[in-house]
C-alpha cells in the first residue's frame, strides 16, 4: 500500500480552491481579509498639528530660562480641548491651556506639560523651558495624504484596520470573507448535554471545527448533523455546497461498512479518497461538489485526527480562498521550533503529529496520543511535526511545531507568559 505524501494531498486540495470574488468590504467586516488592492491614505496623519501632552501651548522663546527656582509667568488666553475646531492664534507673551490631541494654535511652537507648571488657568507659572517643537505632533509626520499605507496582499490585522480607519478610508477591496460549512456525520452523535444511550457519543467535532474556523478569522456555516444514511448526507451536502465556499465533513471516510461520506462522494466522480502518510489523519478525501464546484475536504471522525487535518489541510485551503499565496511544498512553513522535553517514539514511514504543550521553546507531549483521545486536548497548544524518516525523537531534539489555532498567549498560574 503506497501512502500519499502530505504535500501531495495538500497540493491536490489547493488545486480545487480559487480565491473568493473581490468586493468592497466595510472595515467592520474586514478583519482577517486580504487586500486585493493597495490602500492609500485619504488624509495627512496627524491631520493637523496638535499637542502630545496636556499642558500649555507656548512660544518656546517666551519660556527661555524657566525653572523651578525662577518660573516664567504667562497669562492664559483660554482652553483648547480635543475636538476644538475654531481657529486659534497665540500672540507673543501669552499661552493657551491645551489638552492632548487638541490643535495647536497658530504661532505656538512648543507645549509645556502641566506637570511643569502650577496648573494655573488665568496665569500660569511654568517651571521648565521647552525645546522648540517639544511635545508637538506635526501634521503629516506619520503618513502623508495620498501615500500608500498597505500593499495589495496585506492581511487585515487589528493594527492595520486601525491604520486604514485613521487614514479615513471606510471600505477596502478584498476577497469576500470565505464561508466554511461544517457537517459532522455519524449515527452515534448527539448534542452536548444529551441523555446518552449506550453506544452514543457527543458530537464534539462540529463544535471544535466551528471554533477553529472562527478562530481562523472565518465565518463558519454550521449545518445539521447528518446520519449515516445516503439521503440525510445528500441533503446536507447539497445545502452546504450552495451556502459555502468550502465544505468540511467529519467521519465516514475510513474502511467501515457505514462510511457514508465515502460511499456517497465516491459515486460523484468529483471527490477522491486517499490514504495519506500521516498519523493521526490517514483517511482523507477531497474534491468538489455541487453546481458551483464547491471545494470539499472530508476529515476523519476521530477528534485528534480532525484537529490535525484542520491545521495541515484546511488552514491552507482557507488562506487560498482569502487570496493568499500558499505553497503546498512549504506546508511546514508556519511551524516554530521547540526542543523536545523528553524522548518519544514516532511511527515509521508516516509524518507523526504529536500533540504537545509548547512553553518557552520546550515541547512536551501532552497526555494520551490516541487519535480518539480528547482528554489531554485541553493542555495542548501545538502539534509537533515528526518527519516520516524519524522513528525516535530524542530529548533535546529540535522539533517543528504548528501552533494550534485559538490558543492565545496568556499569563499562566506560574506567572510566566506562555501559549495557553
Ligand atoms: P468514522 O470516521 O465515522 O468511522 O469515525 C471515527 C471515530 O470518530 C469513531 O470513533 C467516531 O465515533 C468518532 N467520531 C466521528 N464523528 C465524531 C464527532 N463529530 N465528534 C466526536 N467523535 C466523532
Ligand atoms: Mg462514522
Q: Write down the pLDDT at residue 255.
A: 81
| Cα 315 to averaged position of ligand 2 atoms, centre (Å) | 23
Which of 141-150, 216-225, 254-263 has maximum average pLDDT?
141-150
Tens digits of residue pLDDT in 2-37: 899 999 999 999 999 999 999 999 999 998 899 999
Only one residue has cell 449515516, namely 228
Name the closest-CA residue to atom 16, ligand 1.
301
| Cα 301 to averaged position of ligand 1 atoms, centre (Å) | 4
Residue 411 dihedral angles phi and psi, to the nearest 5°: -80, 125
Buried b (16+ CB within 10 A) or exposed e, 29-58: ebebbbbbeebebbbbbbbebbbebbbbbb
Distance CA(183)–CA(240), nearest Å, equals: 8
> Could you count the other beta carbons within 10 Å of the beta carbon of residue 15?
12
Average pLDDT of span 218-246: 95
In sequence order, which residues have a C-beta less than 8 Å from that of residue 37 and are 6 or more positions away?
Answer: 152, 172, 173
Tens digits of residue pLDDT in 184-208: 999 999 999 999 999 999 999 999 9
- Closest-lying ligand 1 atom to the alpha carbon of residue 305: 8
pLDDT cut 70: percent of the chain above it: 96
30 pocket-lining for ligand 1 (C-beta < 6 Å): no
Distance CA(108)–CA(56), nearest Å, equals: 10
Q: Which of 182, 184, 186 is the pocket-test mutation for ligand 1 (most atoms within 8 Å of CB)?
A: 186
Lowest mean pLDDT: which of 60-69, 252-261, 288-297?
Answer: 252-261
Angle CA 248–317–269, to nearest 5: 60
370 pocket-lining for ligand 1 (C-beta < 6 Å): no
Q: How far apart are the first and last CA of the chain?
A: 40
Q: Identify which of 81, 107, 112, 103 has the alpha carbon closest to the alpha carbon of residue 93.
A: 107
**CB of 364 closer than 8 Å to CB of 341:** yes
**CB of 212 closer than 8 Å to CB of 26:** no
250 pocket-lining for ligand 1 (C-beta < 6 Å): yes
Domains along the sequence of the chain with CATH: 6-20+177-330 (3.40.980.10), 23-45+151-175 (3.90.105.10), 50-137 (2.170.190.11), 336-403 (2.40.340.10)
188 pocket-lining for ligand 1 (C-beta < 6 Å): yes
Q: Identify which of 302, 231, 237, 303 has the alpha carbon closest to the alpha carbon of residue 270.
A: 237
Only one residue has cell 504529536, namely 354
Q: Write down the pLDDT at residue 241.
A: 97
Lowest mean pLDDT: which of 2-11, 28-37, 74-83, 283-292?
Answer: 28-37
305 pocket-lining for ligand 1 (C-beta < 6 Å): no
Name the closest-CA residue to atom 17, ligand 1.
301
Q: Write down the pLDDT at residue 374.
A: 79
Lowest mean pLDDT: which of 112-126, 169-183, 213-227, 328-342?
Answer: 213-227
**CB of 281 closer than 8 Å to CB of 242:** no
Tens digits of residue pLDDT in 157-191: 999 999 999 999 999 999 998 999 999 999 999 99
Amino acid at each position: 500500500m503506497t501512502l500519499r505524501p502530505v504535500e501531495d494531498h495538500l497540493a491536490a486540495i489547493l488545486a480545487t480552491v480559487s480565491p473568493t470574488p473581490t468586493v468592497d468590504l466595510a472595515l467592520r467586516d474586514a478583519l482577517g481579509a486580504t487586500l486585493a488592492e493597495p490602500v492609500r491614505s485619504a488624509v495627512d496623519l496627524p491631520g493637523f498639528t496638535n499637542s502630545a501632552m496636556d499642558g500649555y501651548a507656548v512660544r518656546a522663546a517666551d519660556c527661555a530660562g524657566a525653572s523651578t527656582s525662577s518660573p516664567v509667568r504667562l497669562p492664559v488666553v483660554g482652553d483648547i480641548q480635543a475636538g476644538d475646531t475654531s481657529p486659534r492664534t497665540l500672540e507673543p507673551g501669552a499661552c493657551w491651556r491645551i489638552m492632548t490631541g487638541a490643535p495647536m494654535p497658530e504661532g505656538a511652537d512648543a507645549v509645556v506639560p502641566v506637570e511643569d507648571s502650577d496648573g494655573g488657568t488665568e496665569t500660569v507659572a511654568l517651571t521648565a523651558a521647552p525645546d522648540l517643537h517639544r511635545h508637538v505632533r506635526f501634521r503629516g509626520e506619520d503618513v502623508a495624504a495620498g501615500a500608500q499605507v498597505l500593499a495589495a496582499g496585506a492581511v487585515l490585522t487589528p493594527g492595520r484596520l486601525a491604520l486604514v480607519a485613521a487614514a479615513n478610508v471606510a471600505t477596502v477591496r478584498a476577497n469576500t470573507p470565505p464561508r466554511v460549512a461544517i457537517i459532522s456525520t455519524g449515527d452515534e452523535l448527539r448534542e452536548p448535554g444529551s441523555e446518552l444511550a449506550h453506544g452514543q457519543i457527543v458530537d464534539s467535532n462540529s463544535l471544535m471545527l466551528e471554533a477553529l474556523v472562527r478562530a481562523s478569522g472565518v465565518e463558519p456555516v454550521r449545518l445539521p448533523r447528518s446520519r449515516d444514511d445516503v439521503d440525510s448526507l445528500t441533503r446536507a451536502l447539497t445545502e452546504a455546497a450552495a451556502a459555502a465556499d468550502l465544505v468540511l465533513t467529519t467521519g465516514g471516510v475510513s474502511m467501515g461498512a457505514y462510511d457514508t461520506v465515502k460511499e456517497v462522494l465516491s459515486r460523484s466522480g468529483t471527490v477522491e479518497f486517499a490514504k495519506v502518510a500521516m498519523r493521526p489523519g490517514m483517511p482523507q478525501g477531497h474534491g468538489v461538489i455541487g453546481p458551483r464546484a464547491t471545494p470539499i475536504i472530508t476529515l476523519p471522525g476521530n477528534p485528534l485526527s480532525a484537529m490535525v487535518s484542520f491545521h495541515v489541510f484546511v488552514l491552507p485551503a482557507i488562506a487560498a480562498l482569502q487570496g493568499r499565496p500558499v505553497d503546498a511544498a512549504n506546508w511546514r512553513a508556519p511551524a516554530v521550533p521547540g526542543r523536545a522535553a523528553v524522548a518519544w517514539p514516532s511511527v515509521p514511514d508516516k509524518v507523526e503529529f504529536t500533540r504537545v504543550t509548547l512553553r518557552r521553546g520546550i515541547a512536551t507531549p501532552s497526555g494520551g496520543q490516541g487519535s480518539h483521545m480528547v482528554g489531554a486536548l485541553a493542555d495542548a497548544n501545538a502539534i509537533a511535526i515528526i518527519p516520516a524518516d524519524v522513528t525516535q525523537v530524542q530529548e533535546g531534539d529540535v522539533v517543528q511545531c504548528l501552533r494550534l489555532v485559538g490558543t492565545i498567549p496568556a499569563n499562566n498560574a506560574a506567572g510566566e507568559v506562555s501559549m495557553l
